[in-house]
Amino acid sequence: MCRSVIPADVREPTPRPGSPAARSRRRFLKLSAIAAWRALAGASGAAPCSGPPSAEASGREGRRETSGRSLTLFLCGDVMTGRGIDQALPHPSAPEIHERYLRSAADYVKLAETANGAFARPLGFSTIWGAAHEEWGRVAPDLRIVNLETSVTTSHDWLPKGINYRMHPANVPCLTAAGIDCCALANNHVLDWGPAGLLETLDTLREAKLASAGAGRNAAQARRPAVLDVPGKGRVIVFAFGTASSGIPTDWAATADGPGVDLLPDLSEATLRSVARRVRDVKREGDIVVASIHWGANWGYDVPPRQRSFAHGLVDVAGVDVVHGHSSHHAKGIEVRAGRPILYGCGDFISDYEGIRGRDEYRDDLVVMYFPTLAVGTGRLVRFRLTPLRLRRFRLVRPSRQDFAWLRDTLARECGKLGTSVEPVGEGALELRWT
Ligand SMILES: [Zn+2]
C-alpha cells in the first residue's frame, strides 16, 4: 500500500513510457502534488482531505463437520502503521523520508490535521483502532490476521523506490494492542529499509509474539506458513504470497541464503501446482488454510481473469479455505466458491492517507472488517459479517449513515458481479449472502 503524496503510487504497475496510461498517470501525480502542497500551505480553494470444485482434488472428501462448531477469523487489508501513523505514536522514527514531494513523515500528520482537524499526540497504541475494538468485542473472532504493510525497524538503509514505510520497533505495541495474531508480510513495503530492515522486522514481531508469514531470512523461512492453534477448534495455517503485480520488486524474493519475501513468479498453472504441493505438505484433516496474497493494482474494481482463475485453483486444487487478497486501496468484490470465500481486495485498514486527494471516487477512507465464520472440521463458510468503518484523524470510527450506505451499495454492486450479495444486519454491519 502506498500512496504517497502524492501519489507516486509504487504499487501500481508502471505504465509504458509514453503510453496513454503513462500520460494520464503523470497528469494525476501532478494534480495531486499541487493539491497536497496547497493543503500544507493552507492555500484557499484546495481543501485537502482529505462450478463446483473437485472435492477429491482438494482432499476434502471424508472431512466431517464437528458438532456444528465454528471458528471466526478477523481479516483486513493493509495495516500501514509506518510513516505518518508512526509519527503520531509514542515512539516515532526519525522523520526523514525520501519522497519526491515531501521530506518529513510528519507532513502526513499535518495533511491529516488540515483535512479533518487537529488531534492530540501521541496517540495511544489502542487509539488508532478506535471503533474496531468494540466490533472485536462483539464478534469475538478466534484469530486476527492482517497484511502488515510496513517495515518495523530503525534501519536507515532506504531503498530508492519513491516511498519507504517504517515504524519504530518501540511502536509495535500498537499491533499487540489490537490483539493481532498473524501478520502477512509478502508485500511491497516490508523491505523498504533494506534487508536489515526486514531482519529487524522479523525479530521485533517474534519478540512481540506475533506470528508472521511470507517473509524470512531465507527462502525456506519465507515460504514457511504460520501455524496457529485455536484451542478446541483446530489449526489455522496461514500462507502469505506476494506478486510483482502489487509492486514487489522481483529482487525482493527470498533466496536460498538471503532474506526476502515469498514471491510467486506468476499466476500460472505451474505456480498453482507448486502452491498446492506446499499446502498438501502441511495441511492435515480439519485444518483451515488461509492464502493471504498481495496482488494487483491499487485502484479499480475489476478482477483480472488470471487472478480469478488462480483463486479458483487455490480452492479447487490446492485445498485453500480462505483466499485473503489485498493490495487495492479500497474494498473489492467477494466470491464464494464451494463454500470457500475469496476476497479479491480487502482495501486499506490503517493508513496515513486522509490528507491526500486524487482518487476520492474510491473512498479509501471507508474500510471493512471481514469476519468469515467457518465450520470446524470442514472449513466451509457458514456466515460472513462485514463491518464498515471510516478512517478519520488517524483512528477508526463508525461511518455516517450516508457513508455506510455508499459502502453497502458499492459492495453490493461488486459482489453482484461475482454471484454474492450483501444485506444490512443491524449494529452497523452487513452480511454476505451466497448460494
Ligand atoms: Zn502493497
Å from CA of 66 to ligand 1 middle:
37
Å from CA of 119 to ligand 1 middle:
27
Question: Given pLDDT bands bounded at 50, 70 and 90, which one contains residue 290?
Answer: very high
Could you give the dihedral angle defined by the CA atoms of residues 75, 81, 85 and 91, in that order, rounded to the nearest 10 degrees? 130
Å from CA of 208 to ligand 1 middle:
23
Quick check: is 51 in a domain? no
> In angstroms, rounded to a whole number, what is the distance separating the alpha carbons of residues 346 and 187?
14
pLDDT at res. 45:
28
Quick check: is 251 in a domain? yes
> In angstroms, rounded to a whole number, what is the distance separating the alpha carbons of residues 70 and 233?
8
Quick check: is 393 in a domain? yes
User: With 0-12 CB in 10 A as exposed, 13-18 as middle and 19+ as buried, what is 383?
Assistant: middle
Task: Dig out the grid coordinates for 157 from the structure.
Answer: 538503509
Compute the Cα dihedral for 17, 22, 23, 27 and give only its sign. negative
**What average pLDDT does the segment 93-109 reach?**
95
Domain containing 378 — which CATH number? 3.60.21.10
Diameter over CA atoms, the chain: 67
Quick check: is 384 in a domain? yes
Å from CA of 114 to ligand 1 middle:
26
Among 203-217, 351-365, 370-384, 398-412, the least confident range? 351-365
C-alpha to C-alpha distances, 405 to 72, 114, 283, 422, 423, nearest whole angstrom: 25, 26, 40, 11, 11
pLDDT at res. 7:
43
Å from CA of 48 to ligand 1 middle:
24
Å from CA of 230 to ligand 1 middle:
29
Domain, as residue range, for 139: 70-434
Quick check: is 132 in a domain? yes
Quick: pLDDT tens for 15-69: 333 333 433 433 333 334 334 433 333 333 222 222 333 433 444 544 445 557 9
Å from CA of 42 to ligand 1 middle:
30
Residues 223/162, Cβ–Cβ less than 8 Å: no
113 pLDDT more than 90: yes
Quick check: is 64 in a domain? no
66: three-class secondary structure by DSSP: coil
Q: Of 275, 242, 308, 211, which Cα lies nearest the Cα of 78?
A: 242
Q: Of 307, 143, 320, 289, which Cα lies nearest the Cα of 225?
A: 289
Domains identified in the chain, total number: 1
For all residues of the chain together, what is the average pLDDT?
Answer: 88
**What average pLDDT does the segment 275-289 reach?**
98
Cβ within 8 Å of residue 427, ≥6 positions away: 138
208: three-class secondary structure by DSSP: coil
Å from CA of 293 to ligand 1 middle:
10
Quick check: is 46 in a domain? no
Determine phi and psi for 342, rounding to 5 degrees: -120, 110
Å from CA of 403 to ligand 1 middle:
25
pLDDT at res. 426:
86
Å from CA of 183 to ligand 1 middle:
13
- The letter for the amino acid at 244 is A
Å from CA of 234 to ligand 1 middle:
30
pLDDT at res. 278:
98
pLDDT at res. 67:
59
> In angstroms, rounded to a whole number, what is the distance separating the alpha carbons of residues 213 and 225?
5
291 has which bridge partners?
A: 239, 323
Å from CA of 377 to ligand 1 middle:
33
Cα 421-386-229 angle, rounded to 5 deg: 120
Å from CA of 327 to ligand 1 middle:
5
Quick check: is 57 in a domain? no
Å from CA of 326 to ligand 1 middle:
8
Å from CA of 351 to ligand 1 middle:
12
